[in-house]
Amino acid sequence: MKITISGASGLIGRRLVKRLRDRGDDVTVLTRDPARGQSLGVPAVAWDPSAGPAPASALAGRDAVVHLAGENVAQRWTDDAKQRIRRSRELGTRNLVAGLAAADPAPRVLLSASAVGIYGGHGDERVPESTPPGHGFLAEVCVAWEREARAAAERGTRVVLVRTGVVLDAEGGALGRMLPFFKLGVGGPVAGGRQYLPWIHADDVTGIYLTALDDDEWDGPVNATAPEPVTNRDFSHALGRALRRPAFAPVPALAIRTLYGEMAEIVTEGQRAVPERTQALGYTFAHPQLDEALRSALR
């Protein structure tokens, strides 16, 4: 397949480019910094998602586009940061779809990243893809993000919305930020630890993208989360076991809110998101069990 990817230098993008290249696909990346993109070993085309439509020349004749670009959500949500986060996803996706509309022939598939944050807080209720959007800043961003991606379907493009949870990868993301504390034996449950953490191994995130690329039955929203989410307390204990370190030092919700402000809701609320459609469409998880997934990620 001929595939163009935005946001390829991120945690998922790097892994996805490698797996696509390993299986022989032709990959081009869209990036603000072509030199950085070329470090992935594939052609890179300059594009600033906030500045204008994606270049049609990088999209015409391609089989599929994977849209991963967006401002990092894991930062303190100041007014300026919230504007950047929303603009990067809403306007950036709108500009990508505008590029698709100008491409001739246009790619037949668009895989657009999203997040389980679209559901908002649901306590211990299981949250499949059919769950309506929730409330709050992140949910509103995801709704706008997905709305812009769905616009591509009006021109006959198959659109898949990959709602991703907490990705287990020791090189970055949430797990990468946790590791220094847990390795020192000062990690533990956050904000009481009863909230659910919708985790997924990085291999399964890329596996879901690959399956969605290849299978025309995939469209609409799919949860990229492991079959069985766990509470924050259980996750902390499992990470402690994997590192052979104690993991009982509680982190109060007040401390998280003081450190991160409004962004703390990601950690203190969480979602018990389950991959109901993902599994119904036939995806088989490589790492469905948390203890094994953590050991694999930490290798």
pLDDT in tens, 126-166: 999 999 999 999 999 999 999 999 999 999 999 999 999 99
Residue 57 lies inside a defined structural domain of this protein: yes
The arithmetic mean of pLDDT across residues 46-52, rounded, is 95
CA atoms of 28 and 6, how far apart (whole Å): 9
Q: What domain count does the chain have?
A: 1
Residue 269 lies inside a defined structural domain of this protein: no
The arithmetic mean of pLDDT across residues 269-276, rounded, is 92
Please check whether residue 29 is in contact with residue 5, taking contact to mean a CB–CB distance below 8 angstroms. yes
The arithmetic mean of pLDDT across residues 204-219, rounded, is 98
Specify the amino acid at residue 40: L
Kindly report the average pLDDT of the chain as a whole number. Answer: 92
pLDDT of res. 255 = 61
pLDDT of res. 119 = 96
The arithmetic mean of pLDDT across residues 254-268, rounded, is 65
Q: Where does residue 156 rank: exposed (0-12), middle (13-18), buried (19+ CB within 10 A)? A: exposed
Is the confidence at residue 201, as pLDDT, over 60? yes
The CATH number given to whatever domain includes residue 116 is 3.40.50.720
What is the pLDDT confidence band of residue 181, given thresholds at 50, 70 and 90?
confident
Domain residues for the domain of 141 are 2-165+200-224+275-281
pLDDT of res. 192 = 81
Residue 261 lies inside a defined structural domain of this protein: no
CA atoms of 195 and 251, how far apart (whole Å): 13
CA atoms of 165 and 230, how far apart (whole Å): 12
Q: Which of 69-73, 171-175, 205-209, 269-273 has the highest mean pLDDT?
A: 205-209
Helix (H, G, I), strand (E, B) or coil at 145: helix
Residue 138 lies inside a defined structural domain of this protein: yes
Residue 253 lies inside a defined structural domain of this protein: no
Residue 238 lies inside a defined structural domain of this protein: no
The arithmetic mean of pLDDT across residues 88-103, rounded, is 97
What is the pLDDT confidence band of residue 173, given thresholds at 50, 70 and 90?
confident
DSSP classification of residue 238: H
The arithmetic mean of pLDDT across residues 176-182, rounded, is 80
What is the pLDDT confidence band of residue 77, given thresholds at 50, 70 and 90?
confident
CA atoms of 137 and 73, how far apart (whole Å): 11
Residue 105 lies inside a defined structural domain of this protein: yes
Residue 143 lies inside a defined structural domain of this protein: yes
Q: Which pTM was predicted?
A: 0.94
Q: What is the layout of strands, in order, in the sheet containing 64-67?
A: 44-46, 26-31, 2-6, 64-67, 109-115, 158-164, 220-224
Q: Which carries the bigger pLDDT value, residue 213 or residue 262? A: 213
The arithmetic mean of pLDDT across residues 56-73, rounded, is 96
The arithmetic mean of pLDDT across residues 95-117, rounded, is 97
